Structure 1
Amino acid sequence: MYTHDNKFKNNLKEPGVQCGVWCVLSNPCSTELVASIGFDWILLDVEHAPNDLRSILAQLQAVAPYDSTPIVRLPDHSITAIKQYLDIGVKNLLIPMVENATQARELVSAVRYPPRGVRGIGAGLARASRWGAIKNYLQDADEQICLILQIETEDGLNNLEEILDVEGVGAIFFGPSDLAASMGFIGNPSADAVKKIICEGIFAAKKRNVPTGILSFNKSDIVEYVKSGINFIATGADSYILRVGAEALLREGRSLTNLSLHS
């Protein structure tokens, strides 16, 4: 049975780290396969993947029977897009390139209904309220949405404390790759200076009881971030899993088929 509760948001209040995975292949079948594995959360990417409102809807429907909670990353700060994605049932929104408290307040307002915000009231006709079947949707929706702000520039980190003080920010997500580029370490998100400033950001958020998340493919970096107090982390992506798996399969196939050359 469908529940209005946001499991991902609720679990952020509990001890431990939620393990997730990035999904960029933009296909309901591949996303469903990943969801069936048992990750705590999966990220459906609209910023750097060929997704749109309809393809995200199809993937939300594909993963609905599973325990993995979807998070959707939007490409920008569009209030109109935020409204549309919330109405198709997205509860966890990741917004990129947040750099100051003014942006944070505008985004909080965008995910809340009046009088606390500016979200348009149309969910009674949409999937979010199960087309009106959830009778208390309008009253409860604000508290069930988790707004995650992505910090991925030096300006964002310099303004992190004032962003953390904005009421309604559900979590902070650090973007190591873009942050590394803004600091002069493009292509090297594992640079010591980058990791140091991220760990400081994790600590600053922890002092204010704001959960933090990150994406990292580097095992030693992951250990550092976990020790620093990260709350949710993605350690890979569907495209990476497919490529690495395919490469390993090809190597194995080559070694087996080349046996005939030496027999």
Structure 2
Amino acid sequence: MVSCGKPTKRMRHDMNHQDERSRFRQRVLDGDKLLGAFCPAPSPELIEVAAYSGFDFVVIDAEHGPITISDVVHMTRAAHSAGAPVIVRVPEYSGEFIMRSLDAGVDGILVPQVEEAAEVQRIFQAMHYPPVGVRGLAFYARAHGFTRRTGPEAMNSANQHVLTSVLVETPKGVENIDEIMAVQGLDMVLVGTGDLAANIGYGPETAAKVDAAVTRVAEAGKRHGVTTAIAGQSADDAAKFARRGYKVMVTGMLPHLLRFCTDFVNASRKGMEAD
């Protein structure tokens, strides 16, 4: 019979994965160059594919698409089983969605459409236990091993390891970027260039304005010691943004899968017709 006080082999395996994920926030703070995969479909299998492909982390995109809190639980379990940290992009600022995602065991939260420092302060408080925040206690949740980890030590560990990140994707957010990044506890800012372009309004000067915003956010990140992230779709994008000071690049899984499958189908049809 296994003693209750002695970790089993399976428990040690789980703790090793937990240790790996607990370093994720520190890697972001240290400025490690990381790649993340956005997944907007409620599919644990796609999350596993991203993890096994070598991405440093995955983003469950609950802002767009049909992903529910129940899906977040299953997708998080799949990512953790494959050894990948998980961020959830929540649909909007919602203390409830943030709390329930954290209870599911995710390693970070990404809140879209942030424009002011006061919003960042509310986000930080919702993500952290007292005394620094207002996150409610639920030690019986998955995040704490269903009461395997309890008490002040578990609360402090959660506060130390959860990644606080926001999306800046409006002209107002870019204008207020210094005030946003000055909020204590903010770990990462992701520039949403697609939404930013749409919010600026498409025209002959849109690309130049977006490019100027990309530069402005990167420079603010250097001044405030906040890691900056950006979306890209190619290896050239990754290199280009890294040269401009961005440490993290995220990319959508589905466009890559669609392009790969399309190229495969077109090449295969051409070969079959030539035979």
Same fold (TM over 0.5): yes
Say yes or no: does 1:87 pair with 2:103: yes
Identity of aligned residues (%): 26
Residue aligning to 1:172: 189
- Over 3 Å counting, the alpha-carbon distance change for 1:56 and 1:169 in structure 2 is same
Distance 2:97 2:161 in 1: 18
Distance 1:221 1:194 in 2: 15
Q: CA deviation at 1:221?
A: 4.5
Matches within 5 A, 1:97-136: 97-122=113-138, 124-135=139-150, 136=153
Residues 40 and 67 in structure 1, CA contact (< 8 A), matched pair in contact too: no
User: Which amino acid letter does the alignment assign opposite residue 141 of structure 2?
Assistant: A
Say yes or no: does 1:240 pair with 2:255: yes
- Over 3 Å counting, the alpha-carbon distance change for 1:81 and 1:42 in structure 2 is same
Distance 2:134 2:40 in 1: 30
Considering fraction of residues, name the structure with more helix: 2
- CA displacement, residues 115-152 of structure 1 (integer Å, 9 cap, x when unaligned): 32211111x11011111212421232111111101100
Pairwise CA RMSD: 1.9
Residue aligning to 1:210: 226
Residues 45 and 72 in structure 1, CA contact (< 8 A), matched pair in contact too: yes
Which of 174, 177, 193 lines up with 1:160 in the alignment? 177
Distance 1:50 1:34 in 2: 19
Count of residues in correspondence between the two structures:
256
Which of 4, 16, 19 lines up with 2:35 in the alignment? 19
Distance 1:221 1:241 in 2: 14
Q: CA deviation at 1:219?
A: 5.3
Residues 171 and 211 in structure 1, CA contact (< 8 A), matched pair in contact too: yes
> What is the TM-score of this pair, normalised by structure 1?
0.91
Distance 1:31 1:237 in 2: 12
Out of 11-20 and 33-42, give the one that drifted further. Answer: 11-20
- Over 3 Å counting, the alpha-carbon distance change for 1:166 and 1:14 in structure 2 is closer
Distance 1:95 1:101 in 2: 13
Residues 31 and 227 in structure 2, CA contact (< 8 A), matched pair in contact too: no
Residues 41 and 68 in structure 1, CA contact (< 8 A), matched pair in contact too: yes
Say yes or no: does 1:58 pair with 2:74: yes
Say yes or no: does 1:8 pair with 2:24: yes
Q: CA deviation at 1:218?
A: 5.4
Residue aligning to 2:273: 258
Which of 196, 200, 214 lines up with 1:183 in the alignment? 200
Q: CA deviation at 1:15?
A: 4.6
Q: CA deviation at 1:91?
A: 1.9
User: Which amino acid letter does the alignment assign opposite residue 123 of structure 2?
Assistant: L
Residue aligning to 2:4: none
- CA displacement, residues 19-59 of structure 1 (integer Å, 9 cap, x when unaligned): 12211232111221221111111111000122111111111
Unmatched runs of 5 consecutive residues or more in structure 1 = none
Residues 85 and 106 in structure 2, CA contact (< 8 A), matched pair in contact too: no
Residue aligning to 2:10: none
Unmatched runs of 5 consecutive residues or more in structure 2 = 1-13
Distance 1:13 1:82 in 2: 21
